[in-house]
Structure 1
Amino acid sequence: MIGLLCLVASMLASHGASGQRVKVEPEVSSYPGQTVNLRCAFTDATGIQLTMVTWIYEPKGGERTNIAVFHPSFAPNYPDSPVKGRVSFSPSPSSMSSPSIAITDVRMTDEGKYICEYASYPSGNEQGITHLVMLAKPQNSASIVTVLAGSTPVVVARCESVDGRPPAEISWVTVVNGNATTQKNTGADNTVTVTSEYRMVPTAADNGKDLSCVVGHRTQVKPESFLLKLAIQYPPQVTIVGYDNNWYMGRTNGILTCNAVGNPPPMTTQWKTMSGEMPELAQITNNVLKVLKVDDSVNTTFVCEVSNRIGTGRDQVTVVVREPSVNPSNAGVVAGAVIGSLLALLLVAALIAVLVTRSRRQQQGYRANGGSDMKTRMFGGGKKASKNGTSGGAGSGGNNNGPMYGYNESSSHQGLGEKNNHHQPLTVGGRPEIVPTAPTAEDILLSNELDDVERRKFDELEAEERYDHFTGGAPILQLRPHDQDDMIGEYMDDDMESQRDGSVISRTAVYV
């Protein structure tokens, strides 16, 4: 038994060693119509006598056929075969070392095994095998199959690779659940058509989703991809929106909208009620139902039916009419009235506060400047203004924030001119006197009254006749007689008056 195993092993080793000496190309590919070269060589013939070379064709699933024979003593021979007339030794063999052949105008049916076999002595026959692969670029395509939504798997897409060699490889890329089935059909010219179908349970939710067919083939640089979108038809799916469960008596413009989706798109929309009667105040425009005013007749169930070529879908909503808890319009009016009243009260309070403040300031001003001292403060300390003994000239130590006056000694003897009209001139003993009248609110505002501290300060100064502490501005008005030019010098002398601090001020000038 052991001796038998050793014998078998030695025979296999001998065959393997001899097989390595016949050199051929493992595979050769070609397109139809081209010329293909099949090379063969015996690399080491030392100690071996080569007697004959035979090329044998073995189609896939067929029988072997001799197609070319070469013997050094005879001319090449080409037996009957599928390639007869198109096969020849190339170049013409001059020795047994390189008996290569060429096949012209190759066909798809020429694909198969081509065996270069040597007859030798004493080792026997040795051979090498070349696979001829015929190539044909297929025509690829993909299409979607329109189906109805249902509960059983159906073909939703189809992908084909027609007349290719070798057969194409088809795969599917998608997010929907399904599976593919593939079939291969060989044509008369040995090309192959590959058909793949994708099957799934079609639902309305899957309509429009992506589905890609990918075709890979040896003749293509990269796989070819076809993007498809599922086409699943289904009757309309209807939804009524707009009811907020707050339809109360008297509510206006209640709106219900009937939304529907389907494939193919919905064609018709119909509104009706479960009671069979549509409220009189309901208006229908396409898919919108509008209730102008809610009343008891609206207390019903509204139904919307939408149809397309596949079927009809419907939805319904039951409206419950409620009693209004608060009238929105009355609430708005009440709120507006309350806010308006508050604003009015705030405005009146502000006006009263302003008037009271002004009244207090006016009373304080008159108390600080009241009695016989009013005229003195207005005219600046009550000093004599001219040598004629007229009073009313401007002093230097009083409060000058009141009305300002000037004395005019013109020929017409108009007396004292005033800048504020709430004092009226009066002639007493041939001399003009000023009788103050009650000032108006405007005069009080324009007088720019001093506060209490400043008022008490000036009152004390006037009581002590401390004119030297007066810090008012320069005189803003100088009154002179304009009709007697020769009296200017005399006027200036009489107008000036010496003060205790050594300064000199004008009697007629008004200081601010």
Structure 2
Amino acid sequence: MVTLQLKLATIFLHIWSVCNAQNVKVEPNVYGYVGRQAVLRCQFIDPDNALQVTQVTWMKDPASSKINLAVYNPELGTHYPTDTAGRIHFRLPSIKDATLEIERLEMGDDGVYSCEFATYPDGNQEATTNLTILAKPKNQGSPVLVTAGLAEVPMAMCTSANGKPPASISWSRNVIGNITDTLTKNSDGTFTVNSEFRAVPSGEMDGVKMTCEVRQQTLERPDVIQITLSVKYIPIVIIEGYDDNWYVGREHASLTCSAKANPPASTYTWLMNGEPVPGSVTVNGHQLTVTDVTYDVNGTFTCQVTNDLGEGRSKMDVLVREQALVQQSNAGAIAGGVIGGILALLLIVCLVVYFLHKRRSGDGGSYDTKRRVFGTGNGAPQPDYTYRPDTDSEKGPSATVTASTTVEGNHIGEGENLLMSESPDYENYKNREEDEEDEGREPGLTRGPTISLPGHPRDEMQMEDDMESQRDGSIISKKAVYV
């Protein structure tokens, strides 16, 4: 029986909690900003008017200390037990609306708030609101004055102080270095973030601009802070103005000594070959002037620059010439380049036209020397004198032009070209042929193979009349037909 009663009591309490959650309406989370106002809304919903509200109470940290902040009683009115300097009050106190307003928020106002209604006959009903106080940070950035060296040191600092929640800081830079961030929680619940840029300082870094960017919930847009690095270093010196055309008799020549330094340069000193400059040279601070150039100023000029940290120097070798250099103007160089380009283009065009013309001229006919058809031009069928190379098996000893051959007792030596050699017995050989014709025989039929020897002057004249030179250097017959 007791167990059953406990179960019924548990069910009743659960139903009562649901009713509480349904009757008291609040905002679970409210955000406020330091120095501004926060509104904690709380309403009692009872459509049937079945419950009677006897008192409304606001408490802070109900789970621990349970501090009473504001009380409203329909018969006794409002009461604020805690000394809040008038910052906390009901907006329009009533048994249906217990909205609370907190002015000039402080970080200590952050916490959990409970809105509680005392009702009859159901008892107390409450709901809680979590108030989070946001603090807008104070952001700033600045360089750290350092001296050029070899060790890594802090060179710039970016700070976001007294903010809640903590800010995030990023850097935009064009120099090599490292970033170190430090987060500190302050006693009032705010946070301070320090971001440090560290690098090995050099003179080239002096005056370099970089930015740090702060992002935080209370900021409408990121806060961008520009920082200019500051590095102390000895002077960096260069000499300018030498045009490599100092010649004897030149009326004016000058050198300029330029120096970067932090702290700024204080003194400039000119030397020539390690000694004071000659009297013909005029020195005015960082400017050196030679009114009349002579061989006296042929040498090495040195400019020494000092500041509080030390001395920097630069050297320039000056060569005095006997005569002035003839310098081609830029306009002349450009014109020469244009003319040269045009001439090169014309040469390319001419070459292309020449080779095209030569190729077209060579396409007029075929010059195949292996096929020649001889004819008289009278329309009669012509024999086909096509050269067909013999196979190795068909070639005999006579196939070799340089073979030894005997003609009517006259021996042609081995290795001699038959077509180019001359026969000393050409007249005797011709007389024998005429005798054979008188006897009624065809010459050469009974005397073995005959050979035409073109070595005779008359044959050479006939051959020259029959041949014609070509453009490609070859020689062909006028009477032959090439296919």
TM-score calculated relative to the size of structure 1: 0.46
* Structure ID, larger Rg: 1
* TM-score, normalised with respect to structure 2: 0.48
